[in-house]
Amino acid sequence: MIINKVRDFIIAHQLIQSGEHVLAACSGGPDSLALVDILRQIRLEFGFELAVGHVDHMFRGKASAADAQFVRDYCQRHGLVCFSTAINVPQYLLEQGGSSQDTGRKLRYEYLRETAQTWGNAKIATGHHRDDQAETILLHLFRGSGGAGLSGMHAQAGRIIRPLLSLTRQEIEDYCQQHALEPRQDLSNLKTDYLRNKIRLRIIPQLEAAVGSSVREPLCRVGQILADEQKFLNESAQAIWPNLTRETPDATCVYTEPLSKLHIALKRVIFRLLIEKKQGNLTGITFHHVEKLIEMADSWPVGSKFDLPGGWRAEREYDAIQVRRREVCSVSRGIAPPGVRLLIPGETEVSELGVRVRASVQTYLPQHIDSATAVFDLAALQQPLFVRSRQPGDRFSPRGMQGDKKLKDFFIDKKVPRSLRDQVPVFCDSHGVIFWLGGLRGSRQGQTTAATTEYLVLQIIGIQEALP
């Protein structure tokens, strides 16, 4: 029995829990109508609340308006809440451009997500079935997708669930007939202008005619095998992620040395995971982009850049590949001179750099200091003292070296990643003379001597651990 098959699939994949809200997307066609009808019949057994969401894309005039009315009428007969809207997708395309299918899907899911969020943070159920799965796998194959794409659709992806993935199109049509459902028919599904329709109406039938048997089930089986293998790779990538990366609010970096020891399959997953973490999805990312990132990590020179879809930029650093927004690469949010005045003694919040500076004055030289702490001769510094970000043309006199040096050259020599240079606290006196690059090197200015009587101890709390 078809309902039992769906029930078993929901239980096996833990798609719906008691007390949850489920918003079933329904166009009025056979797949989505069967979805709503089956969920309606099992909702009391599973203990979930059910509502229906419909979007009229306004592509087909009176026909699409009639679809919307059909869905509303069904819901009214069966006592279901129905959320329905009309979105003028043709007008949107005239103004914004784009693909009609992709744009329609984007706007439809935006509405469904907003509705689901306001209606009990509901899960969104779609009517995708096993034939859709086979078509999706072929579609991704033709586009050159990797293992993630060739594994097809998952039973659950975030808040989206697909309870009918165990059913074939024929089983759904049989269900509609057996339960006297009279679904609407969208004639645009018969057009071969779209690649998915062409796969369903021409390519799969031709393949089956050529091999003499169905190709849908083998395709779905391959997809399941690849899904299991992809899950293993994703879990492996997640396990090593903390030791492989450095994350800041603006950027994520992958260290190249440990990356180089990984299998190529895991490298691909790592970079896909990086992009997904940054932008929330992999829209626009292809095999080409991932391979370029791996090539950059393996052999590109320091300073090389590679632009990614979605406004992201990858840059080769000394020991890492950094990915961040392109606009962030050129816009600094640092602290201009004279900077934030230090409270001495006391603690100063430097929110722009994400640190606090604790200052104390002692009459003896501290015995134990770390890289985030420095000691100076208070009398040798012109007060008040400030902390700021680096500025063009900055120079200082590093301890242990003759003469002075440009900060830019010092950072290069110390192999400080570009992504971290604006986060280095630069400490200056009232004349703008730099006496400490926080966490890196003190200047000869303010250096303690045997004649020092008051020791200024500065400690940076929250300093970036990745500084050399």
- Binding residue ranges for ATP: 27-32
Number of H helices, E strands in the chain: 17, 22
Where is the binding site, in residues?
A: 27-32
**DSSP code for 186:** -
**DSSP letters of 319-366?**
SEEEEEEHHHHH------TT-EEPPSSEEEEEGGGTEEEEEEEESS--
Residue 131 to residues 89, 210, 411, 466, Cα–Cα distance (Å): 27, 18, 57, 50
**Do the Cβ atoms of 160 and 59 come closer than 8 Å?**
no
Contacts of 83 (CB under 8 A, 6+ apart): 23, 51, 52, 53, 54, 115, 119
Helix 130-142 / helix 204-211 crossing angle, nearest 10 deg: 90
Residue 145 to residues 77, 150, 158, Cα–Cα distance (Å): 44, 6, 21
- The Cα–Cα gap between 418 and 304 comes to 12
The amino acid at 250: D
Task: Copy the structure tokens of residue 195.
Answer: 């690649």
- The Cα–Cα gap between 400 and 159 comes to 58
- The Cα–Cα gap between 126 and 161 comes to 6
